[in-house]
A and B are shown apart, each in its own frame.
Chain A
Amino acid sequence: MRPTWRLLGALVLGAVIYLYGATSEVAWLFLFGLLLWAAALAMLGYTRWNSRGVAASIRLLAVESSPHSPSPDLPESAFRDAPLPAPVFEGDTVELELALTVTGGSARGPARLATDIGGRQLAAGSGLVPAAGWRRVERLEPVRRGSLAASGVTLDTGDPLGFFRHRRRSADQRLAVVLPLFSSLATSVQVRELESAFTAVRPGHGNDLYGVREYRAGDPLRRIHWRTSARRGELVVREFEPPGLRIVGLLLDPTPATPEAADQVARLAASEAWDCLRSGGRVVAWCPGREATRLDESRSLWSILEWLALYPDLPVDPSGPPRVMDAIAFLTRPGGPALDALQDMQSRGAGARAWLVGEGELEVPYQAVGTEWPL
């Protein structure tokens, strides 16, 4: 809790008036000065009481889709594991709720909540925070791709006269992840895509060995890998790839030339991922030097989109590129570690092509685009 300049002014005013009373024998001036000082003392107690009973919270209330948002085109089943209350895409308008709540059952105030969300300063205050709480809705439009976090959250409480201020800082809070826009890059929709799109494909029923995992009830006994089970001390089963299952690796440029280029890279990657998942495939996204998406999330559109939303600010991971059958590189300049990884995969027999956001020439099949969306 800190005093403000106004407190100093009030105390000085009281002192001057008190001194004037001492030199002029006008007793009322003593009363005036003493009342000012007493008010300062009373406000100190008020601030302590007020600061203990008020809490703040920020949450995402609603999302209003932009005209280019892919949400309307997604099947309903896609929203089963979508972020709540709704996925937020680039260009959407979000409604945020800034709330002040009280503890103890009695109204408090004044209080002010300030935060920085998406590069925009938001602040809301009230002289009275009722016992039922106080809320204010702010609209943020349009939002950019990336983490929508409330940073620098401060709750200022004090007394009504503004003599004291109590500031409480809260940890940064992630409100949502703004996902990249995407759309299908395929010329027509395959019948097989419709059948396999987001159907519950049982894993491990193909011909290619995919991996091993722990035994689950219902797994056929013939799939048990006894040697690995003996080594681990627990039952382990073999898992095979279903026939025709694609695993596409998305290789993204770790150092995009511009933020607009990075956004376009994310959109293109999201679109390629969407096409692959719709056809029943899996997607692994990777950025040289950064942490890749997890294999167990390779079927999750939202996990991949969330990874792409945070690109290129991803956790550091020196691991190499994933083992995939097809690889698509997304570049913002000719060359770079992503292109090197693509060419390396190509040399090992994986399918390889690239998208280039900007100008240049590549030695792999590529398509050059600008930063406009839709393409």
Chain B
Amino acid sequence: MKLLPRSPIEDSGVARAFAFGTFAVGCLAIAVYGQTYLAPAGTLLVAAPGYIYSHRHRHDPPDRIRQAVIAGLVFACLAYFVFDSVLALFGGNLPQANFVMLLVAVTSFELRTRRNLYSTMWMSLALLYLAAVFAWDVAFAPIVLAWLLCLGGFWTASHLKRIGAPRFQVPRVPLAAALVAAVALGGGAFVLLPQPSARPAGPLIVSLPTYVSFRGELENPALPLVEFGADPSGSTANINLRYRGRLGDQVVMYVRTGAPGYWRGLVFDSYQKGIWTATHSEGQTFRAYVDARQLPPPQGPQLGSFVQVYRIVQPMPGVIYAAAPVESIYYPAAEIRRDYYGDWRAPAPHAAGTTYSVVSALPDYTPGSLKKLAGQDPSPAVYPQYYDTGSLSERARALARQLTAGIDPADRYELVMALTRKLGSEPYRYSQNLSRVPPGQDPIDWFLFDAKVGYCEQFATAETLLLRSLGVPARLVTGYSTGEYNPTLDQSVVRARDAHAWVEAYFPGHGWVPVDPSPGFDPLAATRFPNRWATSGLARLIPHLTIGAPGAALGSLGALALGPGLAALLIVLVAASGWLWTRRRRLVRSRSPGEFQLLRLYERIQRRLRRRRGPAETPSEYEHAIVAGELAELLSDVTAAVNRGAYAERWPSPADMEELTARLS
């Protein structure tokens, strides 16, 4: 069987233009989403004449001097990469993307073979991937399309060159229709199909580690919810419930995540007179990348793992937010530190544009799982801070007993949930517009009995102390809530107003389980894989997406969520089958039984002989031209029958056809 000749793609200027187009799209994506402009523009300006030069001189004999110069420039690019990524000499912003762009620009003068052209395109695909990590809006979709169009143009130019077409011309309307169908099909599948989560090999290493280490003791930066102290960095070692700043709508970070969760920051375990502190400041130092073998395994049953990529938008204290528990983590610094409570710290405040990634486990915090306890609570003698109610009044303790009356104290889940739900419902309301705590009054009593209005710190503090009064180990956690989560794009937009505080209650066998008493939040603040069938695409229609709300509303459909998709598939299958059956019946009816069977038999014989009768070839000419071997006699009889039928309208009877068909098998 003759194959088409090898494509002389190197001779196609159009193909090179499309290959350059993929690089240009990659540079554009990096510029827009990586927010680095000098390298993309500069390398494009260099690569453009490089491509032209390569094309014009493609048949020249290899120039050793030019190749040596290009090799030297490649090493120079490598040196840049090392210096920028380690020492941040050039700003350290996406050094790997800059390296790729420089490499393409340098090698653009030596694009001789098809392998060179493909290498350029795969490097531009790497640029596209890097930009995709940072792409936080749907405007990235046209960039993906543009890159694919350039790839398609390259393949088309290659194919046309291979078949000897003199010009780059294709039927525009049919091709456009096919491409539109492809985009509709691919886009529709993207929106409607579930996106699987495979077990990640580890966090994404996007930014390379800088040469920044810890200097001195562990700093304990605070969060924007707390008092604005005199420290210019805004960091303090505590949370003072008496103070609060106003939090705005500015975006603080983007989180690309397969599952919406709370982004845990700091843990506080000691409460005295309205102030939360962390009693332990010791920690363990790690290198930039910490894999799962270096960390203790998560407690309790797990449902899987998922990757989060964080991109810090504004300068922030160096608290590394992550969904707990963490399996592995990568942060672009020489070292990071894990504190006593399992939280992570960077050696310096986050600069805008800092990107780090985390792989977290997803514990099974379903009610059924949490009701099964194993092991013991932390010993009060060893961990007294988790049981210390501080200056909680007797009135508040009585309230705790009242709110959990009738619940078996051994049923930890029901006990915690009862208290959480009661605090999260009327008469308690959530508001950030709060008057000052009257001087001299305990903030918690004032919140529980007088104001009955508060924000997350009040609710979390109250629940923590009330749980401790019931003998349940509890502590306060601060960080950020999920933000605006888009399950189709797998991303959350976290704003300053998403800063949040919640409670971690200890469940033997499961560890510290997050619960959230603040009204409007899911009481069991567990990370869950989204129900993608129900929420893909549709969830964007629901404003103010919060944890649990769409999951509860749409996920409750359960298996029924599959209904519309399955029904549509069934309809398509039935319609297609009906059309095929009707078409076949129409075909059979238009001919006599013998004619239909004879022509089918003739087709089968041609397939067996591996050569079809040509359009201008009569059956007799076909019979004389073909070497039929053992089928010669049958072919002769069938040919005679076909001729009789075609010219004399005398088709064989079904009995004759049976005999002929039997001879074939």
Contact = CB atoms under 8 A, between A and B. Distances in A.
Interface of A: 6, 19-32, 34-39, 41-43, 45-46, 49-50, 55, 106-112, 114, 123-129, 152, 154, 156, 158-162, 165, 168-173
B183 interface: yes
Nearest to B141: A31
Q: Give the 8 A-B residue pairs with the shortest CB-CB distance, closest first.
A: A125-B163, A162-B159, A38-B186, A171-B614, A35-B186, A128-B169, A42-B182, A22-B198
A169 B256 CA distance: 54
A160 B154 CA distance: 10
Contacts of B2: 114, 152, 154
Given A27-B491, A169-B612, A125 B174 contact: no
Given A34-B190, A128-B171, A169 B148 contact: no
Residue among A42, A46, A108 with max Cβ neighbours from chain B (10 Å): A42
B491 A41 contact: no
A22 B195 contact: yes
A22 B489 contact: no
Do most interface residues of chain B lie in helix, strand or loop, or is the interface mixed? mixed
A4 B24 CA distance: 29
A31 B132 CA distance: 11
A31 B165 CA distance: 32
Contacts of A23: 198-201, 307
B492 to A, nearest CB: 11
11 contacts: A24-B309, A25-B197, A25-B309, A50-B174, A110-B165, A112-B4, A127-B160, A128-B171, A152-B2, A160-B159, A173-B616
Contact of B185 (A32, A38, A114, A172): A38
A125 B166 CA distance: 8
Given A25-B309, A25-B490, A106-B174, A171 B189 contact: no
A55 B170 contact: no
Contact of B4 (A22, A36, A165, A168): A165
Contacts of B128: 32
A26 B256 contact: yes
Nearest to A136: B166
A160 B15 CA distance: 13
B332 interface: no
Nearest to A167: B1
By size class, the interface of chain B is 35 or more
Contacts of A21: 195
A313 to B, nearest CB: 16
B164 interface: yes
Contacts of B307: 23-25
Given A6-B155, A37-B186, A29 B129 contact: yes
Contacts of A36: 148, 186
B613 to A, nearest CB: 8
Contact of B182 (A38, A124, A125, A165): A38
Given A25-B256, A35-B145, A41-B185, A46 B160 contact: no
B207 to A, nearest CB: 15
B171 A24 contact: no
A70 B306 CA distance: 86
Residue among B187, B198, B201, B611 with max Cβ neighbours from chain A (10 Å): B198
Nearest to A45: B178
Given A22-B198, A29-B129, 6 more contacts: A36-B148, A38-B182, A50-B174, A108-B174, A109-B171, A170-B617
A236 to B, nearest CB: 32
A124 B144 CA distance: 35
A110 B199 CA distance: 43
Given A26-B129, A112-B163, A171 B622 contact: yes
A160 B4 contact: no
B252 interface: no
Nearest to A165: B4
A162 B182 contact: no
A160 B156 CA distance: 5
A19 B158 contact: no
Interface string B480-521: 000000001111000000000000000000000000000000
B330 to A, nearest CB: 12
B140 interface: yes
Contact of B621 (A55, A124, A171): A171
Nearest to B179: A42
Contacts of A6: 155, 159
B68 interface: no
A24 B200 contact: yes
A160 B616 contact: no
A46 to B, nearest CB: 5
Contacts of A42: 178-179, 181-182, 185
